[in-house]
């Protein structure tokens, strides 16, 4: 039912025995549950020092001081293929993205995307002439830049349109019919952003707090620099916290009955010297049975199923689900995962890592994932 796939410990002594490399074992385990909560402290909270310019322009409205991650969520089943072009859907789904947060953009205009394309292309050319690290194709190549709107990537009328940035390389002397080569992609988005916060911003600010990038880090740094110079914004790394990873695990498992999750894989990092890494795999049907039993146990018998609140998932259910999995593990391997942190989660619907890397593999549940990530990015705004 539940598998300990591997425990990785480079060199350590455990219980008097010396361990090197990986060990594997398999066990069938019964259900159990208890509640233990471990909270994550944000490491990259934007300070007044790092966001002085943006904070001064924003005037720090009262709405900025009350942001907290939601304790209840509903997973809308919206297939973006109905509104987003197949080409863009393929790009979003086949790529692993590095996440950042960005403060509101000053005087950014969706009507000026062609001008921004030309300006960024010129900026890249200037950086290249100065010998900075933007090379991917050698000296005999140049870059084309395209800013575009990702039509349909919004949840509410208050969400600004998602902006896609693509960079391609082309030889100075191309061969006939030689296609340009994609070298970097990124996008700025806001999916179901907090309405109170969005409406509190001055009219000259556009809030696209979630920045996803894929490609050479040198390009990412140069593009962030250009955006900062032109729109008076600040960037920071968006890590996916222990709690957010648990949310993703529960939200994805909740979708198994409609879109099979294929597997539920967790990687836990335990405090040891050196750190101990545990890979824990759960069969999809077993994960679903456990999740469904925990959810059903909390429903009131008098509910008829017509209550929309019944579809909501709250943090208590998430914690009980995770604790049940940890209890299974401890019962059979005598290793307490509560002492460590969840560092990676993956299913057939997507994968997420604590260092801020994410891949979304199912278009139907992409919006659900982006809603959570947008909330995490907004949580990083200046306070």
Please check whether residue 9 lies inside any domain of the structure.
no
Instruction: Report the domain count for the chain.
Output: 2
Residue 159: per-residue pLDDT: 95
Instruction: Indicate if 175 and 147 belong to the same structural domain.
Output: yes
Residue 341: per-residue pLDDT: 94
Residue 117 to residue 126: CA distance in whole angstroms: 14
Residue 141: per-residue pLDDT: 65
Instruction: Indicate if 258 and 194 belong to the same structural domain.
Output: no
Please check whether residue 89 lies inside any domain of the structure.
yes
Instruction: Indicate if 280 and 215 belong to the same structural domain.
Output: no
DSSP code per residue over 319-361: HHHHHHHHHHHHHHH---GGGSEEEEEEETTEEEETTSEEEE-
Instruction: Indicate if 231 and 251 belong to the same structural domain.
Output: no
Residue 142: per-residue pLDDT: 79
Instruction: Please identify, among 198, 216, 238, the residue that sits at the C-terminal boundary of a domain.
Output: 238
CA angle 288, 291, 293 (to 5 degrees): 105
Specify the long-range contacts of residues 147-150, CB closer than 8 Å, at least 24 apart: 147/113, 147/114, 147/116, 147/117, 147/120, 148/113, 149/110, 149/113, 150/84, 150/88, 150/187, 150/189
Exposed/middle/buried for residue 142 (C-beta within 10 Å: 0-12, 13-18, 19+): middle
Write down the pTM of the prediction: 0.81
List the chain residues with pLDDT less than 50. Answer: 9-56, 60-66, 137-139, 300-308
Residue 4: per-residue pLDDT: 59
Instruction: Indicate if 289 and 196 belong to the same structural domain.
Output: no
Instruction: Indicate if 80 and 210 belong to the same structural domain.
Output: yes
Instruction: Indicate if 109 and 210 belong to the same structural domain.
Output: yes
Please check whether residue 19 lies inside any domain of the structure.
no
Residue 129: per-residue pLDDT: 80
Phi and psi at 183, nearest 5°, equal: -120, -20
CA angle 337, 19, 346 (to 5 degrees): 40
Instruction: Please identify, among 238, 253, 276, the residue that sits at the C-terminal boundary of a domain.
Output: 238
Instruction: Indicate if 137 and 227 belong to the same structural domain.
Output: yes
Instruction: Indicate if 148 and 88 belong to the same structural domain.
Output: yes
Instruction: Indicate if 246 and 258 belong to the same structural domain.
Output: yes
Residue 362 to residue 367: CA distance in whole angstroms: 10
Instruction: Indicate if 218 and 254 belong to the same structural domain.
Output: no
Whole domain around residue 258: which residue ranges? 242-298+313-354
Instruction: Indicate if 139 and 265 belong to the same structural domain.
Output: no
């Amino acid at each position: 039912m539940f598998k300990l796939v591997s425990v990785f410990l480079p060199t350590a002594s455990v219980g008097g025995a010396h361990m090197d490399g990986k060990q594997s074992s398999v066990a069938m385990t019964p259900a159990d549950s208890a509640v233990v909560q471990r909270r994550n402290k944000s490491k990259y909270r934007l300070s007044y020092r790092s966001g002085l310019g943006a904070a001064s322009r924003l005037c720090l409205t009262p709405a900025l001081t009350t942001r907290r991650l939601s304790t209840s969520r509903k997973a809308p089943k919206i297939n973006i293929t109905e509104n987003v072009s197949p080409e863009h859907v393929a790009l979003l789904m086949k790529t692993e993205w590095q996440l950042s947060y960005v403060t509101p953009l000053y005087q950014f205009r969706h009507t000026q995307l062609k001008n921004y394309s030309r300006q960024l292309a010129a900026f890249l050319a200037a950086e290249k002439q100065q010998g900075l690290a933007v090379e991917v194709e050698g000296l005999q190549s140049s870059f084309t830049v395209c800013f575009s709107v990702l039509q349909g990537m919004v949840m509410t009328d208050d969400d600004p349109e998602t902006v896609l940035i693509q960079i391609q390389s082309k030889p100075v002397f191309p061969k006939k019919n030689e296609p340009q080569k994609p070298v970097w992609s990124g996008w700025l988005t806001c999916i179901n952003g907090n309405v109170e916060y969005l409406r509190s911003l001055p009219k000259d600010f556009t809030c696209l707090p979630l920045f996803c990038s894929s490609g050479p880090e040198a390009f990412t740094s140069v593009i962030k620099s250009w955006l900062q110079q032109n729109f008076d914004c600040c960037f920071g790394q968006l890590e996916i916290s222990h709690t957010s990873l648990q949310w993703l695990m529960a939200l994805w498992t909740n979708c198994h009955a409609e879109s099979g999750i294929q597997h539920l894989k967790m990687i836990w990092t335990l405090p040891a010297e050196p750190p101990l890494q545990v890979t824990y795999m759960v069969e999809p049907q077993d994960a679903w049975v456990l999740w469904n039993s925990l959810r059903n146990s909390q429903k009131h018998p008098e509910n008829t199923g017509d209550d929309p609140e019944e579809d909501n998932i709250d943090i208590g259910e998430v914690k009980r689900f995770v604790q049940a999995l940890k209890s299974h593990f401890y019962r059979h391997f005598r290793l307490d995962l509560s002492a460590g942190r969840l560092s990676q989660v993956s299913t057939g619907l997507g994968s997420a890592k604590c260092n801020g890397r994410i891949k979304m593999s199912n278009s139907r549940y992409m919006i659900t994932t982006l809603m959570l990530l947008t909330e995490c990015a907004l949580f990083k705004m200046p306070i």
